[in-house]
Chain A
Amino acid sequence: MSLFDVFNVSGSAMNAETIRLNTTASNLANAESVNGDATKVYRARHPVFQAVMNSEMGLDDAADASSGVRVMGVVESTTPPVQTYEPNNPLADKDGYVYSSNVNSIEEMANMLSANRSFATDVEAINTARDLLLKVISMGH
């Protein structure tokens, strides 16, 4: 366990936050997607984070003191899609309804801000560790 672990730990967190940003981008892009079939319409996707201990990351650490992050999986929101009556829409079903995705744009924007801030914090941690290690290397000069 040393300062070098910060790179692995924060790096894994940056990777997880990137996946979160990707799903947010995908959700926002598909916020207006419609489909004539309620089961086939796009559903909001969210990653589920999980702490991963150092020993699992292959780091030699008996104490398992610090832990990184991994994305355990991506789950689809179970909120029902929004049903709208649009008989002129070519995608409408036989009753004239279309179903739009259950993406909540405001929620996604908040998610994006949170991911952005977490990512920035991880970058800051890596920069700090790097600066300190560079100082250790130049010790005595």
Chain B
Amino acid sequence: MFENIFGIHEQALMVQGQRMGVLAGNLANADTPGYKARDIDFAAVLSQSQGDTALPLAATDSAHITLGGTDPATGDVKYRNPYQASLDGNTVEMPIEQAAFSETNVRYQASLNFINTRISELTLAINGS
């Protein structure tokens, strides 16, 4: 009965937390020459963690690079396509990164709220009052 009581939100928290780390890395490297901004495709990682995987490429040689992470905890980190890259090769665009960061913040809090509500519901069911 208590298996997977938090549904998708358990994994969502993990992925959002990871995405936040990646975005913080982008913000941190806003002034680093040659740094390429990265991000996690949240929808892709989530559907992957739900078992909805696309057919993966078989790695038959040690030199083959796996496309995207197979482990939902590490997620697949991809490079961002910049609207306008700077001359020094840096592709961090502050407004976009900041927007993505606050979006992740809100989503993280939403998942937390869902989990908290679930806990309250279960506590209510257990106590009966």
Contact = CB atoms under 8 A, between A and B. Distances in A.
A10 B108 contact: no
Interface stretch (B53-61, B79-87, B109-117): B109-117
Nearest to B18: A1
B7 interface: no
Nearest to A70: B32
Interface residues of A, number: 36
B74 A66 contact: no
B109 A132 contact: yes
Contacts of B22: 65-66
A82 B36 CA distance: 37
- Which bracket fits the contact residues of B? 35 or more
Given A2-B17, A9-B21, A65 B75 contact: yes
A128 B101 contact: yes
A63 B35 contact: no
A17 B35 CA distance: 16
Contacts of A74: none
Contacts, number: 110
B24 A9 contact: yes
A135 B112 CA distance: 8
Interface in A63-81: 63, 65-69
Contact of A118 (B21, B31, B74, B112): B31
Interface of A: 1-3, 5-6, 9-10, 12-13, 16-17, 20, 48-51, 62-63, 65-69, 114-115, 118, 121-122, 125, 128-129, 132, 135-136, 139-140
